[in-house]
Amino acid sequence: MAGKKNFSGVIAPVVTPFGEDGSPDADRFIEHSEWLLEEGCTGLAPFGTNSEANSLGLDERMELLEELVDSGIDAKKLMPGTGMCSTADAAILTQHAVDIGCGGCLMLPPFFYKGVNEEGLFRYYADVIDDVDDDRLRIYLYHIPPVSQVGIPLTLIGRLIKEFPNIVVGLKDSSGDWSNTKAILDAYPGFEVFPGSEVFLLDGLRNGGSGCISATANINPRAIRKVFENWQGPDADTLQAGITATRKAVQAYPMIQVMKALIAHYRNDPVWAKVRPPFTEMAKPDAEKAIQELAEVHGFKLNIPETA
């Protein structure tokens, strides 16, 4: 593994806004990304699961990423999702991300075919690494079996680290299973492990974790950052309890939709609520009720400026 860590802290899989016509909206995307960095995110992971990445086309992803870098955001802070079903398309996105200077790539395993063996998954990553053939490449494995169904077993991680020690440098664990995260942390010290939810942020940090890559960092970045900053302090557990409570309150609703509804509401910008198929927006009364419950019952309001 590379000696120096590329990423640490609080990383948001940036939600992707769509314009009136349904196409990705670069202006809103940049505005939200800038706000996330100002509010405490240490990095951004565009094109994660909660970014509706898999509802975007290859070209749309590459264009949005270029717009983000062109806007002045430091590419080193970006860890775009580049894993696809095919090595061919994954290599295109990965090469593109490396070429524009991204600090890392978050790579799903190939997720269409189920029940495949570990050797096949190894070859997928190895083929992409071989195709891209670039020393700057840093891969973060993306383990999210509840959605992708195809997961990344502990032994595969070890084999990839051994074969590509300077390239396969970390992992996002969205299994929701702390025992799996703990097993990875214990097995591969120095590997950059990010739980996929801030619920496990403090537990992760106390066991050598690097931070978290979490959807709800889109709406609660400052409080999550505070846990990261104070994890060795006396208030760590209290602060963690706060962000855990907010996360649990938010994830009681459809995650992507409620986050977009919150952003739309507090930005006073209804277009933000749009989602792409196969998702559908929350019905307006349901969204209003959710926003109200989060504010009144859970004390959660989104500290985001109204769209100018």
Distance CA 108, CA 106 (A): 7
CB 16 within 8 Å of CB 51:
yes
CB 195 within 8 Å of CB 216:
no
Phi, psi of 232 (to 5 degrees): -100, 0
List Cβ neighbours of 42 (8 Å cut-off, separation of 6 or more). Answer: 7, 8, 9, 10, 11, 77, 211, 225, 228
Cα–Cα nearest to 93, from 121, 66, 67: 66
Distance CA 159, CA 74 (A): 31
Rounded to the nearest whole angstrom, what is the least distance from the CB of residue 237 to a copy of itself in the complex?
33
Determine which one of 124, 125, 140, 188 is catalytic: 140
Nearer to a copy of itself, 144 or 290 (CB): 144
Phi, psi of 8 (to 5 degrees): -160, 160
* Active site annotation includes 253: no
Nearer to a copy of itself, 278 or 285 (CB): 278
Rounded to the nearest whole angstrom, what is the least distance from the CB of residue 39 to a copy of itself in the complex?
27
* Active site annotation includes 140: yes
How many degrees, rounded to 5, is the angle at CA 199 between CA 11 and CA 162?
Answer: 60
Determine which one of 77, 124, 172, 253 is catalytic: 172
Rounded to the nearest whole angstrom, what is the least distance from the CB of residue 147 to a copy of itself in the complex?
6
Nearer to a copy of itself, 60 or 66 (CB): 60
Nearer to a copy of itself, 143 or 182 (CB): 143
Q: Where are the alpha helices (DSSP H) in the chain?
A: 26-38, 58-70, 87-99, 118-132, 145-148, 154-163, 178-187, 201-206, 221-229, 236-250, 255-267, 284-296
Nearer to a copy of itself, 117 or 232 (CB): 117
Rounded to the nearest whole angstrom, what is the least distance from the CB of residue 37 to a copy of itself in the complex?
27
**Rg from Cα positions in the chain:** 18
Rounded to the nearest whole angstrom, what is the least distance from the CB of residue 255 to a copy of itself in the complex?
11
Nearer to a copy of itself, 123 or 298 (CB): 123
Rounded to the nearest whole angstrom, what is the least distance from the CB of residue 57 to a copy of itself in the complex?
3
> Applying CB under 8 A, which residues contact a copy of itself?
22, 49, 54-60, 85-89, 92, 109-114, 116-117, 119-121, 123-124, 127, 146-150, 276-280
- Sign of dihedral through CA atoms 238, 9, 252, 272? positive
CB 237 within 8 Å of CB 206:
no
Catalytic residues: 140, 172
